[in-house]
Structure 1
Amino acid sequence: MQFAGILSRSSARCIAAASLLANHFLLSKSLRSSITPLLFSPSPLQSTISNGFRPKWGCDRAYHDGRPRGPLWRGKKLIGKEALFVILGMKRFKDENEKLDKFIKTHVLRLLKMDMVAVLTELERQGEVSLAVKMFKVIKKQVWYKPDVYLYKDLIVALARRKKMDDAMDLWQSMRQEDLFPDSQTYTEVIRGFLQYGSPADAMNIYEDMKKSPDLPEQLPFRILLKGLLPHPLLRNKVKQDFEEIFPDQRVYDPPEEIFGLR
């Protein structure tokens, strides 16, 4: 009987140990089954990146490969590295004439045609009109240069908007010597510039030149003159008569004379 009691106690211990091992095995198995999907399934961020940069040919890429994208890059690609270097160099030496002339001889003259035009356009866009004039003079000396009214137009308009009328008229004379006529926008900006500059006589000279243009005139330069010549009734009446002859269906607003102290 004593031996049977000892045997039953040892059997109970074995059964308890086996039960503990079984419970541990089941618990570890359940933990592995719950952790595995977290370790090996793609996260929402990874799936978003993969979907966002999936190329057309079907190969998934879960990262940005560093290549520039978008319209900003497409715009910058139009200007080459050498052209960008020239723009920065000209801006650096713009207040030192000797260094600027030396830089033009050593670097600007080495540019290709498209790079020179790109430098001119970018200088105009940045408002560096004095440098743009220098660049335009360099372009005119190239063997490939042909008279182009649009090269003149952009530069003259940029100068007129900054009230650099002397430089604008120098280009205007050069343009007319090449038998080029500007468009209506160029006439408008130059006329407006002279009126703001306080020189109605020069504005009228441009107006007379506009009447010789082979292109049909537009209303805008007339209306700019009619407004700017209010303090000069004799000049304004002449422009008004021409306007009514060319545009008979249009009306000209005449403000009361006492507003401008003409009485």
Structure 2
Amino acid sequence: MALRCILRKWKTHRLTSSFLTQFTSNPTKTINPIRDISSALSSTHFITSFEHKNVTGFREYHDGRPRGPLWRGKKLIGKEALYVISGLKRFKDDEEKLPKFITTHVLRLLKMDLIAVLTELERQQEVSLALKVFQVMQKQDWYKPDIFLYKDLIIALARAKRMDDVLQLWESMRKENLFPDSQTYTEVIRGFLSSGSPADAMNVYEDMKNSPDPPEELPFRILLKGLLPHPLLRNKVKQDFEEIFPDSSIYDPPQEIFGAR
């Protein structure tokens, strides 16, 4: 702080000296205030920047820390939570050390830190670790069934093609009498279709029809597109779609494209 004040005073002194010199060195010369001030500022800036680097020894360089939103986001996570995330990733392939680390560190986290760890692992697509953390959360005294916790984890697992884990988590969610939203149905149906499991996709579809929330068009359209190689299943979904959304239309491609005669 003291060095900064000295440099500021020194800059002011140099600027004043350069400015006065322009006016007093040649009294008979025609004075152009704007040009003289500009030249004084430019010369002072050059001298100041040069001598500042040499006198103080300071250099501008990148300190290695992430810039912008990434760094601000990390500051919202506690140090202990960051340590747990790092430890879980370090021991994720060690079947002996990982359970010990969970017992000694994960179980000690407070509610908000544990939720922060779960969210960050989902963001980093560490879905296996996220599933273990969620199982730890379910055993806490403060845990209450929350559809949003299920939603984010199920979507992360579906996008990672971990459909067996999706099924187990789906059953756990239904036992707690929770219904997902349209986005969750869409991602799970898409995941089963891309994994070659149309029967499981239809089971999720039947569950969606029993949901207390009104259905939306997107999961229907994803299912109709994915069931093109299965005309019998597709016709059933198509009939339901036309009943629920009578004002919407469905594109039916020529049958010969899919080998149906």
TM-score bracket for this pair, using the shorter chain length = 0.7 to 0.9
Check if 1:228 corresponds to 2:245: no
When the two structures are superposed, what TM-score results if normalisation uses the length of structure 2? 0.76
State the one-letter code of the partner of 2:181: D
**Deviation at residue 110 of structure 1 after TM alignment:** 1.1
Check if 1:132 corresponds to 2:134: no
**Deviation at residue 109 of structure 1 after TM alignment:** 1.1
The 2-side partners of 1:127 and 1:43 are apart by: 49
**Deviation at residue 173 of structure 1 after TM alignment:** 0.4
Structure-2 residue corresponding to 1:142: 140
Structure-2 residue corresponding to 1:99: 97
Structure-1 residue corresponding to 2:74: 76
Structure-1 residue corresponding to 2:107: 109
Structure-1 residue corresponding to 2:166: 168
Structure-1 residue corresponding to 2:183: 185
Structure-2 residue corresponding to 1:56: none
Residues 69 and 99 of structure 1: CA distance in aligned 2, closer, same or farther (over 3 Å): closer
Structure-2 residue corresponding to 1:249: 247
The 2-side partners of 1:146 and 1:192 are apart by: 29
4+ runs deviating over 3 angstroms:
44-47, 68-73
The 2-side partners of 1:226 and 1:259 are apart by: 15
State the one-letter code of the partner of 1:76: K
The 2-side partners of 1:224 and 1:108 are apart by: 38
Q: How does 1:22-61 map to 2 (within 5 A)?
A: 43=45
Per-residue CA distance 1:184-236 (angstroms, 9 max, x = gap): 01001111111111111110000000000000100010001101111111110
State the one-letter code of the partner of 2:137: I
Residues 258 and 148 of structure 1: CA distance in aligned 2, closer, same or farther (over 3 Å): same
Structure with max Cα Rg: 1
The 2-side partners of 1:81 and 1:173 are apart by: 34
State the one-letter code of the partner of 1:85: Y
Residues 100 and 214 of structure 1: CA distance in aligned 2, closer, same or farther (over 3 Å): same
Secondary structure, aligned partner of 1:133: helix
Residues 209 and 87 of structure 1: CA distance in aligned 2, closer, same or farther (over 3 Å): same
The 1-side partners of 2:129 and 2:68 are apart by: 30
Contiguous gaps of at least 5 residues in structure 1: 1-29, 48-62
State the one-letter code of the partner of 1:259: I
The 2-side partners of 1:213 and 1:130 are apart by: 28
State the one-letter code of the partner of 1:178: E
CA RMSD of aligned residues (A): 2.6
The 2-side partners of 1:214 and 1:99 are apart by: 44
Structure-1 residue corresponding to 2:86: 88
